[in-house]
Amino acid sequence: MSKLYQYLEYVYLIFALLFIVLGIFELGNTLTLGLILIAMGAAALFKYFFQRRFRRRFEERNKQ
């Protein structure tokens, strides 16, 4: 189960990069959509770091 969570972390990172890049390209056309995509990318990036920290903490607790 831990391996699944580890792979899902990278899915969040991929989506974060995708949303940020799309948001930057979209800023030239529509400002609102570009900002929404960048905000979604920032949320996915936050979720990546939060999930990674939580998984590591959970693994350390199980080792003890």
* Mean pLDDT split into 10-residue runs, the chain, 64 residues: 81 96 95 96 95 88 82
48 CB-near residues (< 8 Å, 6+ apart) = 9, 12, 13, 16
pLDDT at residue 61 in the model? 87
Is the model's pTM score more than 0.85?
A: no
pLDDT at residue 31 in the model? 94
pLDDT at residue 33 in the model? 96
pLDDT at residue 1 in the model? 61
What is the Cα–Cα distance from 64 to 60, expressed in whole angstroms?
A: 7
